[in-house]
Structures are given as C-alpha cells and as structure tokens.
Amino acid sequence: MLNTDPTHSHTYDAHGNMTCCSLEEKIYARTEAQLKSEAHHDHSDEHGEAAWWQQYLPVAASLVLLLSAVAFDNWLKPDWFSGWLRVVWYVAAYLPVALPVMREAVAALRKGAFFTEFTLMTVATLGAFFIGEYSEGVAVMIFYAIGELFQQAAVNRAKRSIKALLDVRPDTVNVLRGTKTFTVSPGEVLPGEFIQVRPGEKVALDGTLASETASFNTAALTGESKPDTKTKGETVLAGMINLNTVAEVRVTSLFKDSKLSRILELVQDATARKSQTQLFISRFAKIYTPVVFFLAVAITALPFFFVEKYVFADWLYRGLVFLVISCPCALVISIPLGYFGGIGLASRNGILFKGSNFLDVMSQVNTVVMDKTGTLTKGVFKVQKVDTAPGISPGKLVETAAALESKSTHPVALAVVEFFGKDKIMLPVSAVEEIAGHGIRGKVAGDDVLAGNLKLMQKFGIATPPEVAEIVETFVLLAINGQYAGCITIADEPKDDAKQAVADLHGMGIQTVMLSGDKSSVVQKVAAALGIDRAFGDLLPEGKVEKVQALKSENRRLAFVGDGVNDAPVVALADAGIAMGGLGSDATIETADIVIQNDQPSKIASAVKIGKLTRRIVWQNIGLAMAVKIAVLALGAGGVATLWEAVFADVGVALLAILNAVRIQEMSFSTPT
C-alpha cells in the first residue's frame, strides 16, 4: 500500500529482518488496531476524505505527467521538450509516487532490513533513470503505486466485512433509574439495572426480558433473519434488534462481559492466528527476496567475464527487469486477504473461526464426530406417545399424570406438564412423596397415583404389559388405585436440519460418528433415523476420549462437535473443536476452535465448505503468481521482456490474485435446511 500514515511502522526480529511482509502487517496488525479503535466511532467523513486525497492525488498527478511526457517523446515531439527540462519533467512525475516508497525503504534500512519490496522498487527505478530509461522508471513506480491502491481497497473491503459486526453494538442505552429514564453509555450500566429498548433499537447488554413478550431479530448474532420471540424471564443478548414493542430488559452482565463483546474479540483476534500456508509464504518471502536480488546483480555483473561485447547498460536493464518482476507482492497480499475474507464470510453466516489456521483444518476434515443431546437433538424432552390401559382415556391419563408431575422438577416431569398445558387448571394433589430413582406417588383428586419407571411399578407390585420393557425411549408408567393405567413415552427430538446436515457431510465424503452418554438403544435409534455411519452410547467422558483416540489412530482428520463444556477433553483432542450454540455458554466460547452461534447442525457442513473454498482460492493465487513470475523472470534474464512488460506482469498478476481473493467476500453463502 502506498503509505501516507506517519504512525505506520514495521516489525523486525532480533537480526533486523522484517518479521513479515508489509502488506501482511497492514492486513493483520494494522487492521486489527483500526477495528478496535473504530468500534464506537467512525471518522470517515472529513478525515477519511483527506486520507483519500492523500492516497490518490499523488498517483493521479504522476500519471498525468508521465502520459504527457510519453506523448511529447513519441508523437508531439516539441522542440522545447529536451535536455534538462525533459529530465526535470520525468523527475516531477517520479517523485510524488516514489517518495513514500523511499521513506519506507529508508525506515527499513535503519532497522537493518535491506530486502524489502520498497528497496526493490527504489533500486529498480533509480537504475532505470541511471541508464536514461526515464519513462520506464516512472511507469514502474506508478503502476506499483496503483497496484498498492487496489490492494488497500481490497483490505478495506475485508475490514468492513468484519467491522460490520462491531456496528451492532449501540453507543447509548436508555436505563431506568427510579421513575426516570436516562440515556447513558452502555459501559455505565451495572448488572441488576433495567434498560428500555424501543422498536428498531439494538439491545446493548445481555440480560433477561422483564416485559411479558417481545420479538427480536438475531441476524447479527446467528446469521439467521427469522424473528425470535422471547417471553418474560428468557435470555436477551446484546446485538439483538427489538422488532415490535417497547421492551424492558434486566441487565445480567457488564458491557465488556457481554457475549457479543466476547465474540467480537474472537473475530478480531482470529486475524492474528495464521494458517500454515501463510506462515510458509512469510518464511518463503524472507529467503526468496534476497535470492532474486543477488540473481539480479549476477545477471548484471557476471556477463562481463563471459560476453565478448559486454554493454553495461544493456545488462543492467536486464537485471532491473528481473528485480521488478521478482517482487512477491501477489503472494504475500492475496493469501492473507483470502483467509481474511473466509473469516468474514463465515462470520456473516453465524460461524466464528478463532483463526485462519482452522479454515485449513476444516478443509481437510474427513470425519465429523458429534455429541447427541443439544447438537443433533434439541435437548428438550417432549411427549411422543400416550398408551392407555382398557377403560382409561388418554385425556384422563395425561391430566392425572400432569397434576402429580407438577410437584416434581425432573425434566421428564416438566415434559409431561408442558404436554398437558402448564397454564391449565390442575387436579388437586396431596400426600406427595418422591421416591429417588423410581418416580413419585401421591393422591390426585382422591385417587392413589404412582408415576415413574418400571422399578416403581415392581416395587409396589403393579403388573405391567410385557411390551413396556421393550420401549427404547424414556417413559413414565402410571398406576391408579393399584392398577396399571398407561404409559407416556417421552423423547428428545432431532433438530429440524439434523438429517440434512448429515446428508451434506456425506455428500462431501465425510464420515459421521455420534458419541453419547445416553443409553445405547436410544443412540442407535437416533443414528439410524439421521443416517449416521457409526454411533456409540453409554459413554462417560473418558469413554468419548477413547473413541476419539481410536479414530485418530486410523489417521483420520476429525472435528468434534459438542457443547464445549462437558466434552472439553474431546474438543481438545480433536483437530478442530466446534461448539454448537455458542451464544448460550461462556465456557463454550473459551473452549472451542470454531463457534456456531445458533443451534443448526447444518452449519457444520457450511464451515467445511467455507474452509475448502478459502483454501482453493488461496492455492489458485499461489499457482498463478508463481507461474507468471517464473515465466517473466526467464524472459527478463534472456533480454526478451522489458521493464514495461515486467511491471504489467507484476501488477497484473497481483490484481488478478486480489480480485480472486475478494470473490470470497462477495459470495452469497447459504446452508440447505
């Protein structure tokens, strides 16, 4: 980038070498700093326009002067355009674009870093002036500057795709204190206070809904635009947009501790965690640049000892062509830009990668291991079936069971009450006794009622049908006045897109495995319904670890998908740990490598697709850049290519690579449901 920021500096190691290419620093270090400083304030108006003119005006002025000089030299040929005036004209065209590059070269030299892109461009263009090729020397610097402007535009585009996330945090919030409403900064609101969110406004802090009901747009957090209706007491998160009515929210955490703030930090920090490809290119550039510089010197000097009619200017020209085309900009710009675009695309789709290295990992995954409850199933028990004994109506059975189970807090009991209707009037209940590991007993409308498992029926000598023992799902057996009355079957439902998620993974040649602590019969039934390849139940956490280790011993590249808390050992063992529904758990955000912000398992396939897409584009750029450079380097060394061709080849391949990388940011990516 043609740098006009006086605060910009490069990083050097203990030996005085640049730790990474300048463009990479600008994309990662500088962009991250700008993102954080611009989180609440956008100064793009008058200051932005000034910076825009500082960048584009020098290039425009130099280009006008160069084009006019070329016209005077080749077509108009006025008598006055000669001698010292001609030289001054070309110098005037050269300096606006050359001085910023020279300043960067000098700054690098002071740190002991000679082999930088700035030094290459400075040496090449001054060499062209030395042998009288003024127009070509100016052209090299102008087109280099134009290429850098395109690069900066692409970086800004990538930055905006991430910065859009920051814009979901409002600058002010309406807090209720006493009988008055005050407009304050979100950072001034304490847990326990109440805030008011009007229709169309963004929720500023995490909390629970104090109003009876309200609908929110959660697209900024989950990538899904479908409204989410909340009722009193349910969790509301910063970044949600209130849709229909004034809502009051009781704040539960500080602004800096909100889920959204944590997520934004993850996205910003992700840019610093580089993939193996990026690290290789950085190391490659450190070796490549000095090698090609000395090759350029050799092309210029060595022919003196072997060529009969050695002309220094001719061989210097060949060396300069070699120097210009050797600049590794296309590689070190387009590669981090491609990964940055991949992170942005994933973020817009509700998938947070904690580093570009995990984009690479997901592109190579051949096995996805998944937890059952909360990952592939909803994690909420619901009544599936009601079977009754002769003479008992289903309505009577459910009404009686719900009345008794309303006195219990067990998830199964809550499912029965929910099925009956928790707002309905319950039958009178008395003499309630919970029997641990068995169930509950009591009097319901004067009848003696038992509700529980098979062991409870056996304990009280209640005869049950033989088919009850064959039921795979969780169930509640009921007995009324010492007689078997019926069975209520309860199960955890698969998520709506779980089957499609498994099919999508199979479509990419990825094997699916399910691990669960639930009983094996339930696990096998869910696996069969969803089409999962292998499933294992009755597993403790250490059992899951053993299964994952066995899979890894088969040289499988695997990702594990779970809640990120109970499955932390397995998440750490997997090549990539994916947290499902990361907005619900702080520990999930901390543990996982990739966070899926909603509960859709179909996003797993999306993460793989984005990883493969990013890697494919990055390697396309590497192949394009290397092929063109090798070809033009050979032509330059042989005296066939000119400086004009060298600069067009260098800038052209860089622009093509940038445009290819930018494609990631432009893609409209959707997940089948």
* Model confidence pLDDT, tens digit, residues 197-214: 998 888 989 899 999 889
Q: Which two tokens stand for residue 598?
A: 């909603």
* Model confidence pLDDT, tens digit, residues 532-570: 999 998 787 778 889 999 998 998 999 999 865 556 678
Nearest Cα neighbor of 257 from 504, 560, 589 is 589
In the DSSP assignment, the letter for residue 428 is: P
**pLDDT in the model for residue 435:** 87
**pLDDT in the model for residue 20:** 39
Q: Is the confidence at residue 390, as pLDDT, over 70?
A: yes
Which residues fall within 8 angstroms of residue 372, CB to CB, at 6 or more apart?
Answer: 492, 514, 515, 516, 518, 523, 526
Superfamily of the domain at 378-493: Calcium-transporting ATPase, cytoplasmic domain N (3.40.1110.10)
**pLDDT in the model for residue 38:** 39
What band does 362 get if pLDDT is binned at 50, 70 and 90?
Answer: very high
Per-domain residue ranges of the chain: 22-164+274-344+612-666, 173-257, 352-376+495-597, 378-493
Distances (CA, A) of 255 to 252, 330, 555: 10, 41, 44
**Burial of 7 (C-beta count, 10 Å sphere; 0-12/13-18/19+):** exposed
φ, ψ of residue 558 in degrees (nearest 5):
-125, 150
**Would strands 576-580 and 558-562 be described as parallel, antiparallel, or unpaired?**
parallel
Which residues fall within 8 angstroms of residue 1, CB to CB, at 6 or more apart?
Answer: 22, 23, 26, 148, 149, 151, 152, 155
To the nearest 5 percent, what fractions of the chain are helix, strand and coil?
55, 20, 30
**Cα 673 from Cα 662, distance rounded (Å):** 27
Question: Which H helix or E strand runs over 594?
Answer: strand 594-596
In the DSSP assignment, the letter for residue 202 is: B
96-108: b (≥16 Cβ within 10 Å) or e: bbbebbbebbebb
Query: Average pLDDT of the chain?
Result: 80
Q: Which two tokens stand for residue 367?
A: 């096995």
What band does 14 get if pLDDT is binned at 50, 70 and 90?
Answer: very low
Place of tokens 């929110």: 216
What band does 649 get if pLDDT is binned at 50, 70 and 90?
Answer: confident
**Cα 281 from Cα 334, distance rounded (Å):** 11
**pLDDT in the model for residue 670:** 52
Place of tokens 């479509």: 507
What band does 478 get if pLDDT is binned at 50, 70 and 90?
Answer: very high
In percent, the amount of the chain with pLDDT more than 90 equals 34
**378-493 has the same fold as 352-376+495-597:** no
Torsion-angle region of residue 84: left (phi > 0), alpha (psi -120 to 50) or beta? alpha
**Cα 217 from Cα 665, distance rounded (Å):** 23
Please name the residue ranges forming H helices in 30-133.
31-37, 46-71, 83-110, 117-130
Given 371, 518, 599, 650, the catalytic residue: 371
Contact 653, 624 (CB under 8 A): yes
CATH class of the 173-257 domain in this structure: mainly beta
What band does 17 get if pLDDT is binned at 50, 70 and 90?
Answer: very low
pTM tops 0.85, yes or no: no
Q: Which two tokens stand for residue 506?
A: 């199979």
CATH architecture of 352-376+495-597: 3-Layer(aba) Sandwich (3.40)
Catalytic status, residue 79? no
**Cα 259 from Cα 242, distance rounded (Å):** 17
